[in-house]
Amino acid sequence: MTGTPDVVIVLTTIGAAADADAFAAQLVEERLAACVSVLPPMVSHYRWQGAIERDDERLVLIKTTASRVQAIEARFDDLHPYDTPELLVLPVAGGGAAYLEWLVSSLDNRE
């Protein structure tokens, strides 16, 4: 296994009724993400504006590089349906060399 300090996973959630597929496809189309995985519906419990909330959501895993996180955050303003979307960046400590190479090359605009 090989690690690369530039590869990250960005986590966000999106309402279960939202068009998560279009959201994911747009990030890949714009080469902001090599792959976006949309997980099945789940239930989230959280505090928002002083109240405990419960919502059906989907977890979205965005595989990208650290250098693209700022651009992803900027695109959330247009693409993400939430006013305050979750955006957590997790560094990737290791992985298969071939997969990591594919991930980075998928973001290359020269392809």
2 in a structural domain: no
Q: Output the domain CATH number for residue 93.
A: 3.30.70.120
27 in a structural domain: yes
List pLDDT tens digits, range 11-49. Answer: 999 999 999 999 999 999 999 999 999 999 999 999 999
93 in a structural domain: yes
pLDDT greater than 90 at residue 110: no
111 in a structural domain: no
User: Residue 83 gets which letter from DSSP?
Assistant: S
3-class DSSP state of 24: helix
pTM comes to 0.93
22 in a structural domain: yes
96 in a structural domain: yes
List pLDDT tens digits, range 41-66. Answer: 999 999 999 999 999 999 999 999 99
The domain in which residue 63 lies consists of 7-106
Q: Which residue has the tokens 């090599």?
A: 34
CB atoms within 10 A of CB 72: 21
pLDDT greater than 90 at residue 10: yes
60 in a structural domain: yes
Distances in Å between the Cα of 8 and the Cα atoms of 32, 50, 69, 81 are 12, 32, 9, 23
How many folded domains does the chain comprise? 1
pLDDT greater than 90 at residue 76: yes
Give the residue-averaged pLDDT of 4-17. Answer: 92
50 in a structural domain: yes
